[in-house]
C-alpha cells in the first residue's frame, strides 16, 4: 500500500526560495581581494541570483548545460551556487590548485558552456585558454575592469529582472558537478542531483552532524571548489545562518580576524589550516576573542590527536573530526561522541576524538576483507564500502571506472578501516589497488 503524501520534488529551488522569504535581512559577508569587507544580505543575494539565472538564459544556457566557476569563497560565488541550478544548468566548480593541464582536461571533459571566474585568477585562465572552448567567459571584477574578451559579471546581470521563473526541475536532475583529484589517472566527475544536495543539507543540519541553525555564523575556510565547501553554503542557506567568506585570503591571521570580528560560531577546513591557526594563537595569547566559536570541523586528512587536544585544553575550542569523499557529497562520518565519551579518561577521550567517528544518517558503511564483511570489533581491517542517497552510483562519462561500484550497490572507497562495536571508524591505510579517488574532500 502506498502512502498518501504529496510528491514534492526535493530541489535547490526550495532552499533558495526559503532563504529569500524568511531570511532576507540575514547577513552574507566576505573579504574582497583588496582585503576590504563587503556586506550583503540574503535578500540581495536572492535578487541577484535570479538576475544571474535570467542572464545565463539570455546567453543561451539550457537545462543540463554545465556552467563552471573558477573562484575563491565570496558572496558572488554564492550567487552562482544557486543562480546556475535555478535555470536548470549544472554548477561545476573548478579547482584552481590543480595543474593547468588537469583543469583544461576537466573543462573539456565536462563540456562547460560558460565559465565564470575571479579576476585574480585570470592569469591562470590565460594559460588554459588555448586548450578550452567555452562559449562565454564571465569575470567577477570585484570593482575592477575585466580583461579584454571577457564579459563583466556586473554589466551582464545589471539589466536583468530580479525575478526568475525556473524551468521544470526534477529532484533527480543534475545540479552540481565536482571532479576528484586522484593521485593517478585523470580526475573523475561526480554528478550530483538536486535530491542528493538537499538530502545532504538536511543531514548536515542535524545536531550530531554540523548542527547548523539560523542562529549560527558560518565561515567555510574549505574552498567552495572542494566538494561545494563540504556542502556548507547549501546548508547555511537552507537554515538562514549568517555566512562569512574569506575570499582569497586564507592565511591564519586573516582567518582569525574574521572569526573574531564576525563572531563566527562554526568553521571548517583541513588540518594544515588549523595547525597554522593553533600556532598563531600560541604566539599571540589573548589577541583574538573566539568565545562565540563552538565547532571547528576538520577533514581532508587525519586530524592529529595533539591538535585536537591543544585546541580544547588551551583554548576551549572543540574540533570535530569528519571524513567524506567527493563521491559522497561529501559527508560520510563525524566524530561527536555521546555518553561513551563522558566515561573515558583524558587519553582515551582524545584518542576516540581522533577517529573518523560514526556514519551520519542515511550513510551505510561496511568493511570488507578477502572473506567478505569483517566484524565490527575495532581490530579487523577491511576496505570501507559506503552507500546512501548522497553517494554516487557511477562516474560522469567514465564507464571504465565501473569496478569502483559493487554489484550489490556499494561504492568502494579504497580506504582500509577498522570499525568498533559502537560504529566508530578508524582509517588505517589505503588499498594498494585503488587511487585516492576522494582527494577533493
**Rounded to 5°, angle at Cα 395 from 389 and 397:** 135
Any catalytic annotation for residue 265? no
Which pLDDT does position 142 carry in this prediction? 83
Tell me the C-alpha to C-alpha distance, in Å, between residue 116 and each of 210, 221, 360: 29, 21, 33
Residue 437 pLDDT > 50, yes or no? no
CA nearest to 48, candidates 151, 160, 166, 141:
160
Q: Prior bond to 330 cis, omega within 30?
A: yes
Q: Which letter does DSSP use for residue 89 in this model? A: -
Catalytic residue, candidates 57, 69, 93, 180: 180
CA nearest to 387, candidates 418, 370, 366, 356:
366
Which pLDDT does position 429 carry in this prediction? 81
Indicate the pTM of the whole model.
Answer: 0.96
Of the chain, the percentage scoring pLDDT greater than 70 comes to: 96
Q: Which letter does DSSP use for residue 328 in this model? A: G
Which pLDDT does position 433 carry in this prediction? 44
CB 258 within 8 A of CB 219: yes
Strands 411-419 and 425-430: antiparallel
Q: Which letter does DSSP use for residue 247 in this model? A: B
Tell me the domains of the chain and their CATH numbers: 12-27+37-169 (3.40.50.980), 200-430 (3.40.50.12780)
Any catalytic annotation for residue 131? no
Any catalytic annotation for residue 428? no
Catalytic residue, candidates 309, 327, 383, 440: 327
Which pLDDT does position 431 carry in this prediction? 62
Distance CA 180, CA 12 (A): 23
Positive or negative: CA dihedral 93, 96, 97, 102: positive
Average pLDDT, the chain: 95
Q: Could you tell me where the DSSP H helices lie in 121-270?
A: 122-128, 153-157, 194-205, 227-230, 232-239, 252-261
- Count of beta carbons in the 10 Å neighbourhood of residue 373: 12
Residue 50 pLDDT > 90, yes or no? yes
Q: What confidence category does residue 182 fall into, taking pLDDT thresholds of 50, 70 and 90?
A: low
Any catalytic annotation for residue 441? yes
Q: Which letter does DSSP use for residue 93 in this model? A: E
Give me the sheet containing 411-419, strands edge to edge: 372-373, 364-369, 382-387, 411-419, 425-430
Residues 319-353 pLDDT 10s:
999 999 999 999 999 999 987 767 788 889 999 99
CB 166 within 8 A of CB 88: yes
Amino acid at each position: 500500500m502506498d502512502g498518501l503524501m504529496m510528491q514534492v520534488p526535493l530541489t535547490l529551488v526550495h532552499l533558495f526560495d526559503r532563504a529569500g522569504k524568511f531570511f532576507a535581512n540575514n547577513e552574507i559577508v566576505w573579504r574582497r581581494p583588496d582585503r576590504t569587507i563587503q556586506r550583503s544580505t540574503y535578500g540581495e543575494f536572492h535578487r541577484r541570483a535570479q538576475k544571474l539565472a535570467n542572464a545565463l538564459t539570455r546567453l543561451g544556457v539550457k537545462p543540463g548545460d554545465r556552467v563552471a566557476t573558477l573562484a575563491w569563497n565570496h558572496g558572488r560565488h554564492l550567487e552562482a551556487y544557486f543562480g546556475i541550478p535555478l535555470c536548470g544548468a549544472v554548477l561545476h566548480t573548478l579547482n584552481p590548485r590543480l595543474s593547468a593541464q588537469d583543469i583544461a582536461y576537466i573543462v573539456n571533459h565536462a563540456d562547460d558552456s560558460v565559465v565564470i571566474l575571479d579576476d585574480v585568477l585570470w592569469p591562470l585562465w590565460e594559460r588554459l585558454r588555448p586548450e578550452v572552448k567555452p562559449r562565454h567567459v564571465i569575470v567577477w571584477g570585484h570593482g575592477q575592469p575585466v580583461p579584454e574578451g571577457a564579459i563583466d559579471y556586473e554589466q551582464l546581470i545589471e539589466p536583468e529582472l530580479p525575478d526568475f521563473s525556473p524551468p521544470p526541475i526534477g529532484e533527480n536532475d543534475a545540479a552540481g558537478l565536482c571532479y576528484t583529484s586522484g593521485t593517478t589517472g585523470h580526475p573523475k566527475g561526480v554528478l550530483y542531483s538536486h535530491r542528493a544536495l538537499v538530502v545532504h543539507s538536511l543531514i548536515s543540519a542535524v545536531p550530531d552532524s554540523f548542527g547548523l541553525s539560523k542562529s549560527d555564523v558560518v565561515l567555510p575556510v574549505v574552498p567552495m571548489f572542494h566538494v561545494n565547501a563540504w556542502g556548507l553554503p547549501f546548508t547555511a542557506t537552507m537554515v538562514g545562518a549568517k555566512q562569512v567568506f574569506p575570499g582569497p585570503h586564507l592565511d591564519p591571521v586573516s582567518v582569525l580576524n574574521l572569526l573574531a570580528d564576525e563572531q563566527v560560531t562554526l568553521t571548517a577546513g583541513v588540518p594544515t589550516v588549523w595547525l597554522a591557526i593553533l600556532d598563531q594563537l600560541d604566539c599571540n595569547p589573548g589577541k583574538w576573542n573566539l568565545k562565540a566559536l563552538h565547532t571547528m570541523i576538520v577533514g581532508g586528512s587525519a586530524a592529529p590527536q595533539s591538535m585536537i587536544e591543544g585546541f580544547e585544553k588551551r583554548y576551549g575550542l572543540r574540533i570535530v573530526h569528519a571524513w567524506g569523499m567527493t563521491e559522497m557529497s561529501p559527508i560520510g562520518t563525524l566524530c561527536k561522541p555521546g555518553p561513551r565519551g563522558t566515561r573515558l579518561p583524558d587519553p582515551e577521550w582524545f584518542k576516540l576524538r581522533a577517529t573518523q567517528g560514526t556514519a551520519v544518517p542515511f550513510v551505510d558503511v561496511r568493511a570488507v576483507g578477502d572473506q567478505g564483511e569483517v566484524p565490527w570489533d575495532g581490530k579487523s581491517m577491511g576496505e570501507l564500502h559506503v552507500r546512501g542517497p548522497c553517494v554516487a552510483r557511477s562516474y560522469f562519462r567514465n564507464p571504465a571506472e565501473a569496478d569502483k561500484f559493487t554489484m550489490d550497490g556499494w561504492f568502494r572507497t579504497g580506504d582500509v578501516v577498522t570499525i568498533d562495536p559502537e560504529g566508530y571508524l578508524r582509517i588505517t591505510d589505503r588499498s594498494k589497488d585503488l587511487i585516492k579517488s576522494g582527494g577533493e574532500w
